Amino acid sequence: MNISKNWLAAYIDLDGLDTGEMADMLTFAGVEVEAMHERGVTTDQVVVAQVVQKSPVEGSDHLNVCMVDAGEGSLRQIVCGAQNYQVGDKVPCALPGAVLPGGWQIKEGKMMGHASCGMLCSASELGLPDKEHGLWILPQDYKVGTPVRQFTGTDTLFELEITPNRPDLLSHWGMARELAGITGRTLKADPGENPLSTESAGERILLSAPDICPLYTATRISGVKIGPSPEWLAERLLAIGLHPINNVVDITNYCLFELGHPLHAFDASQVQGELDIRLAHRGESFTSLMDDDFELQENDLVISDSSGRALALAGVMGGKNSGVTENTSDIILESAWFLPGSVRRTSRRLGLSSDSSYRFERGAAPWNTLRAAARAVQLILECAGGKAEPTLVAGQAPALVPEGQAQQATVLQQGTAAKVYCALPQVQLDWKELDVMTNASIPHMEAARILRNLGLKETTPGCWDCPPWRLDLKRSCDLLEEVVRVYGIANIPPTRTAIYAPESSHDRLHDFRCNISRHLAGAGFWEVQTFKLIAEQSADPTIASVQYALPIKPLQQGDVIRVALPLSEDHTVLRPSLAPGLLAVAARNLNQGLDVLRFFECGRVFRNTGGGKGKDIESEVLGILMAGKLAPSSWDHLKPQSAGAQHLTAIVERLLPKSHITVLPAKIARDAAAISADILANGQTCGFMARVALSVCRALDLPMDCYYAELDLRKLQQLSTASFKVKDLPLYPASGRDATLEVPVNMQHADIMKAVESAKQKLLESCRLKEIFCDPSGGKLAEGRKAMTYSFLYRNSAATLTAADVDAAHGELLKALTAKLPDIRYR
Amino acid sequence: MMRSPSLTKVGLWYSFSASHMKEQIAQVQAAAMQTIADAASMKELEQARVAILGKKGTLTQVQQGMKDVPKEDKPAVGALLNAARVEITSAMDRRMAELQALADASAIAGIDITLPGATLPAGGLHPISLVREEAVHILRRMGFTLADGPEIEDEWHCFDALNTPADHPARNEKDTFYFDSGKLLRTQTSTVQARVMEKQSPPVRIICPGSAFRRDAIDATHLSAFNQIEGLYVDREVSVGDLKGTLEYFLKALFGDDTAVRFRPHFFPFTEPSFEIDVLLRAAGQDPRWIEIAGCGMVNPAVFENIDCKSGKNFYQGCTGFAFGIGLERLAMIRWGIRDIRLLIENDVRFLAQFQ
């Protein structure tokens, strides 16, 4: 919210208070000053000057070279781009050396070859409200050479961030009251205290939705003369960035920014019969003052009349059909209280917000309703003339004090026949609570003084009456907050306490994740963090999209969890796998010319267990992607190998050095075009691996083999952190034998390993693949066959093996393999 | 190669034989010394060793003549023979050392140690991981335990428990991602406060690094999914002083001991009083400026009441505590001068490589 210091000074004595000091006071009391703008001319180097000559700059469509008389005895040449002045006009001229608002220093210079010794200024360039576009044309009676500051005032505009719990600060009077509370400075006369004659509305105002609008007042003022606002009022509105419209509308705006309570003025000639504050009909149409059409719903509150038309959207905006115009002579002034949630709902749904809705949705004080009406009536009579009838009051102030809490009743403005009661909370405060919260660093006398300055009254010891404008004060902690923020947290000494913190399973997972990430980074993988909300389908390969979750696509429709109202098509579902994100990262980086694509991510994936009807589960997984070259080419290695499944398997094996890793073809083939496999550690599935389908790679502009593995992080953690005992070193030597198996090309290593394991040869210690040989020409090996050479290592832990023992064991093994594997031969 | 003279066993020639032996030794020795000197490689030298000292070597053959030397001459001839052997052997060793040195020198002659390094695949951690690890590291040293909770949350844990009014704007479906099930993506990691407190009795001293989601359009300063670290300490008589001391220590550990930290009163529904924390950032060539870095406050008693009421356990009556939250993206952006938050989700290697 914008606050003008000059306007503020009408309500509080600010003498001797530096603006910077004031800004700090507000900021450290919880009212953050986001920006300060100095308004007006503070330097003597901006003077009145008369334009004597004006000629266009050749080659420019808007620049003119002007000769101006700035009262210096000789003329000054200035190049100017504005269009709204004539020879003979008097305008402000900033001389070289002048510093304008915003720290802008004026220097002599050249523009398109013409010397320019100063600048002719607009009002906004001097930090003043801009009334015209272009140069600020000064009255002819101003003498050339006179500093412009003699004719203009200065002001400071504060841009404040008001937290949602403090709607009472959304006005100049409210801010003055707060500043008085913080600083102890004296408040001047309350502009809201004005006499007002009231009477009960009776049948003339119907409260058809009393839960949403429990209190409504209307004042008819007849014979007003619509015209421009007086200068002082227009100046104040301009100072906070509002453009004056006419006296009645300006006064309603003025009262809002003065007292904080929104008002609305209807053209009385457009209102027929009684007012009805009712809920809208479904589909009812409404045209706002700004000429926008809206279709209303049953929970929107409108102000209607006996004709049934909606004249205003309650608390949000007036209607076009009943607004005050130049021809208006009688008005009805509304001051009411609307339920915050209702105003917010309507304002947000229609995308229509106003200074009024902003205040109502944060909670206007019912106490202010008649104060604002009285102030507006007073100003309208003063500025627009006319005659006011007694204010009609319908309903009562809402009960805002929680049930069961102590309260005191205050009677608001009373007239001939209307009494409005307002209940205010009473809060019990035990100083012990303050001592605990602040380590007894705030004296109780000081705390009590702070509360009194803020308008609270201690009626009996420990029992505080809260002021009617502070709807946020309900409990003792609310009062403690007031004491702490005004006393200043800077004055509370810091203390440090700690307790013994047991390690949790999350601690261990975090450590594991850090270790594994460092390990992979060291092994030449980039850690990435991709978006958890991904597209269902996307044409852009760099947008992660669940369609690329192949071959791990959800088992059935509905397994993928979709947000109800996505921000865009690119972020509609929660990722069921890290693959789409990692593939998109690979595509993006390939596009940047990277040919070594090695990425990993640790993070959460989401899936419903039963097609949308089951539980939503979240699991921590590790995704690793390898594509392109294994390493960058260099002068000593011109053509590095391309990444293959075996390289990804090696990485997985390195992550789990203590486990026996097997990669088996997936039990259920998830996509015909891809190769997918399960990763088992010690026989237990802990993840999967895949060569991404070539069609998917083409769609992603990744014209290469992409290998991807996804592992369950918690399973990895269990496997890696399992305790173990050191094995004794072998006492007796091992002995090796090689065997070359000629098998059909479609026989897989896993098949052979399974056969080796099932042979259960006791002396066999290990077996490793040594060589694969294929001969597509069919010369050395028949087509459709391949030769796989394995090294078998035999050892007896209790004795040295003889050659005969080894030969016998090896022979038995080969015989067993022949029996178990179809169509194999030894070479 | 020298041919060894054939010696015959003829008695009358003994004396001749001794002098002949001496002559022979001298000859063999001279020839051997020449051969050693001529050896151009270690291989040639090794061949010479065999030719001179081997079983059929020249000196070995001369030595065989010793048996024919008259007894009285044997010591003299023997000494001569030994001297020859010692001289030849040491000459060989010297020559071997020379040749080895030459070979070693030529072995490194072609090596250019200044060549550029061969390339290994590069890798590194993501900046968010780096700041997360560092923050977690500091906080764990201060006695905080890690905790976590689901990202798909219910309204109770995300809003109700945390004292968010029923009509609060954050609950709007335009600000928060909801699912058809009525659940939502947590808008803050503070949900973990409720998750932990409903199960655990005080004292509670936890941190939770994790993701949160808000329905903000993505631009240079906003992401709709972002990372936070949440902290909570609840016990008997936890004070504002504890909050201040803890967070000052944490931020100084993170940004440097000479970092100025200030607390500004603010408003959050789940804490009261609430504060925003600024640190004074000093960048070369710029005026120091205060940067907002975290939100914190004393746990609102309503939060304790909500949780006690739900769990039915009355764990938290009479407790006080503080909570804080800090955005990791913001932390990374401040630390490394990252101007566009989207760089953190684009994962361009040219960006990531700067954090190696």
Q: CB neighbours of B19 closer than 8 A, spacing ≥ 6?
A: none
Q: How far is A318 from chain B (nearest CA, A)?
A: 23
Q: How far is B58 from chain A (nearest CA, A)?
A: 45
Contacts of B224 in chain A (CB under 8 A): 533, 567, 571
Q: How far is A63 from chain B (nearest CA, A)?
A: 36
Residue A475: name the closest of A486, A484, A467, A464 by CA.
A464
Residue B247: name the closest of B303, B157, B322, B344 by CA.
B322
What tens digit of pLDDT does each residue of B174-217 get? 889 999 889 999 999 999 999 999 999 999 999 999 999 999 88
Q: Which residues of A407-434 are buried (b: 16+ CB within 10 A; e: fewer)?
A: bbeeebbebeebebebbbbbbebebebb
Q: B174–A520: do the CB atoms touch at under 8 Å? A: no
Q: Which of B122, B128, B264 sits opposite A524 (nearest CB)?
A: B122
Residue of A nearest to B233 (CA): A498
Q: A524–B120: do the CB atoms touch at under 8 Å? A: yes
- Cα distance between residue B356 and residue B123, in whole Å: 7
Q: What is the mean pLDDT of residues A173-193?
A: 94
pLDDT band at A554 (very low <50, low <70, confident <90, very high): low
Residue scoring higher pLDDT (A279 or B110): A279
Q: B123–A526: do the CB atoms touch at under 8 Å? A: yes
Q: What angle do CA A453, A457, A462 make, to 5 degrees?
A: 115
Give first-to-last CA distance, chain B, whole Å. 67
Residue scoring higher pLDDT (A128 or A224): A224
- Cα distance between residue B93 and residue B131, in whole Å: 63
Q: A166–B267: do the CB atoms touch at under 8 Å? A: yes
Question: Best mutation site among B146, B164, B215 for testing chain A: the one with the most A CBs within 10 Å?
Answer: B146
Q: A563–B179: do the CB atoms touch at under 8 Å? A: yes
Q: Which residues pair with A140 in a beta bridge?
A: none
Q: Which of A481, A489, A631 sits opposite B119 (nearest CB)?
A: A631
Q: Which of A166, A494, A599 sits opposite B241 (nearest CB)?
A: A494
Q: How far is B298 from chain A (nearest CA, A)?
A: 8
Q: Which of A29, A341, A564 sits opposite B265 (nearest CB)?
A: A29
- Cα distance between residue A292 and residue A294, in whole Å: 7
| Measured CA distances, A285 to A209, A281, A288, A292, A309 (Å) | 19, 9, 10, 10, 9
Q: B180–A588: do the CB atoms touch at under 8 Å? A: no
| Measured CA distances, A82 to A77, A152, A717 (Å) | 15, 22, 71
Q: A477–B224: do the CB atoms touch at under 8 Å? A: no
Q: What is the mean pLDDT of residues B235-241?
A: 95
Residue of A nearest to B116 (CA): A635
| Distance from the Cα of residue A789 to its chain's centroid | 61
What tens digit of pLDDT does each residue of A659-693 get? 999 999 887 666 656 788 899 999 999 999 999 88
- Cα distance between residue A18 and residue B137, in whole Å: 44
Q: What are phi and psi of A77, to 5 degrees?
A: -95, 130
What tens digit of pLDDT does each residue of A736-764 get? 999 999 999 989 999 999 999 999 999 99
Residue A63: name the closest of A131, A110, A128 by CA.
A110
Q: Which two tokens stand for residue A699?
A: 């769609």
pLDDT at A408: 77
> For tokens 């009077």, what's the residue?
A173
Cβ(A630)–Cβ(A704) below 8 Å: no
Cβ(A204)–Cβ(A221) below 8 Å: no
| Measured CA distances, B260 to B254, B280, B332 (Å) | 12, 5, 18
Q: Compute the mean pLDDT over every residue in chain B, rounded to the nearest whole number.
A: 90
Q: B349–A606: do the CB atoms touch at under 8 Å? A: no
Cβ(A95)–Cβ(A107) below 8 Å: no
Residue B189: name the closest of B294, B106, B339 by CA.
B294
- Cα distance between residue A80 and residue A135, in whole Å: 10
Contacts of B122 in chain A (CB under 8 A): 524, 526, 596, 632
Q: Which of A493, A521, A532 sits opposite B124 (nearest CB)?
A: A521
Q: How far is B102 from chain A (nearest CA, A)?
A: 28
Residue B232 pLDDT > 90, yes or no?
Answer: yes
Residue of B nearest to A358 (CA): B169
Contacts of A438 in chain B (CB under 8 A): 239-241
What tens digit of pLDDT does each residue of A523-541 get? 999 999 999 999 988 888 8
In 10 A of CB B228, how many CB atoms?
Answer: 24
- The beta strands (E) that lie in A254-404 are given as 264-267, 275-279, 285-287, 293-295, 301-305, 310-313, 317-318, 331-337, 387-388, 391-395
Contacts of B349 in chain A (CB under 8 A): 526, 589, 592, 594
Contacts of A647 in chain B (CB under 8 A): none
Q: How far is B250 from chain A (nearest CA, A)?
A: 11
Question: Does residue B273 have a cis peptide bond before it, meaning omega lies within 30 degrees of 0?
Answer: yes
In 10 A of CB B27, how many CB atoms?
Answer: 15
Q: How far is A389 from chain B (nearest CA, A)?
A: 38
Cβ(B190)–Cβ(B294) below 8 Å: no
Helix, strand, coil abundance in chain B, percent, nearest 5: 45, 20, 35
Q: How far is A3 from chain B (nearest CA, A)?
A: 19
- Cα distance between residue B78 and residue B75, in whole Å: 5
Q: CB neighbours of A480 closer than 8 A, spacing ≥ 6?
A: A429, A433, A434, A437, B272, B273
pLDDT at A336: 96
Q: Which two tokens stand for residue A515?
A: 């270790």
Residue A196: name the closest of A174, A177, A221, A214 by CA.
A221
Residue B59: name the closest of B41, B82, B92, B38 by CA.
B82
Q: A437–B169: do the CB atoms touch at under 8 Å? A: no
Q: How far is A430 from chain B (nearest CA, A)?
A: 13
Q: What is the mean pLDDT of residues A129-143?
A: 82
pLDDT band at A255 (very low <50, low <70, confident <90, very high): very high
Q: Which of A480, A527, A530 sits opposite B129 (nearest CB)?
A: A527
Q: B124–A527: do the CB atoms touch at under 8 Å? A: yes
Q: Which residues pair with B229 in a beta bridge?
A: B209, B326
Q: Which of A341, A524, A604 sits opposite B167 (nearest CB)?
A: A341
- Cα distance between residue A25 and residue A610, in whole Å: 58
- Cα distance between residue A396 and residue A392, in whole Å: 12
pLDDT at A416: 58
How many residues belong to chain A? 827
Cβ(B32)–Cβ(B92) below 8 Å: no
What tens digit of pLDDT does each residue of A312-346 get? 999 999 999 999 999 999 999 999 999 999 999 99
Q: How far is B101 from chain A (nearest CA, A)?
A: 29
In 10 A of CB A151, how many CB atoms?
Answer: 13
Cβ(A194)–Cβ(A56) below 8 Å: no
Q: B118–A637: do the CB atoms touch at under 8 Å? A: yes
Cβ(A527)–Cβ(A521) below 8 Å: yes
| Measured CA distances, B45 to A234, A391, B102, B139, B256 (Å) | 112, 127, 13, 71, 68
Helix, strand, coil abundance in chain A, percent, nearest 5: 25, 30, 45
CA torsion sign for A484, A487, A488, A489 is: negative
Residue A714: name the closest of A512, A485, A466 by CA.
A512
Q: Which residues pair with A304 in a beta bridge?
A: A276, A310
pLDDT at A348: 87
How many residues belong to chain B? 356
Cβ(A219)–Cβ(A372) below 8 Å: no
Contacts of B300 in chain A (CB under 8 A): 477
Residue B54: name the closest of B83, B106, B30, B89 by CA.
B89
What tens digit of pLDDT does each residue of A262-317 get? 999 999 999 999 999 999 999 999 999 989 999 999 999 999 999 999 999 999 99
Contacts of B152 in chain A (CB under 8 A): 561, 574, 606, 616, 618
Q: Which two tokens stand for residue A783?
A: 């087509």
β-bridge pairing A825-826 and B145-146: unpaired
Residue of B nearest to A602 (CA): B129
Amino acid in the structure at residue A210:
P
| Distance from the Cα of residue B254 to its chain's centroid | 20
pLDDT at B8: 46
Q: CA torsion, points B162, B166, B167, B171, in degrees to nearest 10?
A: 60
Residue of B nearest to A613 (CA): B181
Q: A438–B142: do the CB atoms touch at under 8 Å? A: no
Q: B347–A637: do the CB atoms touch at under 8 Å? A: no
Q: State whether ipTM is beyond 0.90.
A: no
Residue B343: name the closest of B335, B352, B334 by CA.
B352
Q: A436–B320: do the CB atoms touch at under 8 Å? A: yes
Q: Which two tokens stand for residue A18?
A: 């530096």
Q: A564–B185: do the CB atoms touch at under 8 Å? A: no
Q: Which of B140, B178, B349 sits opposite A589 (nearest CB)?
A: B349
Cβ(B331)–Cβ(B97) below 8 Å: no
Percent of chain A with pLDDT over 70: 97
Q: Which residues pair with B271 in a beta bridge?
A: B268, B299
Report the SS3 class of residue A138: strand
Contacts of A34 in chain B (CB under 8 A): none
Q: What angle do CA B279, B283, B285 make, to 5 degrees?
A: 145
pTM over 0.95: no
Residue of B nearest to A616 (CA): B152
Number of A to B CB contacts under 8 A, please give it.
Answer: 242
Q: Which residues pair with A115 in a beta bridge?
A: A110
Q: B122–A506: do the CB atoms touch at under 8 Å? A: no
Q: What is the mean pLDDT of residues A95-102?
A: 84
- Cα distance between residue A329 and residue B228, in whole Å: 59
Question: Best mutation site among A165, A168, A212, A499 for testing chain B: the one with the most B CBs within 10 Å?
Answer: A499
| Distance from the Cα of residue A679 to its chain's centroid | 41
pLDDT band at B14 (very low <50, low <70, confident <90, very high): very low
Cβ(B57)–Cβ(B46) below 8 Å: no
Question: Best mutation site among B112, B132, B152, B292 for testing chain A: the one with the most A CBs within 10 Å?
Answer: B152
Q: What is the mean pLDDT of residues A14-42?
A: 90
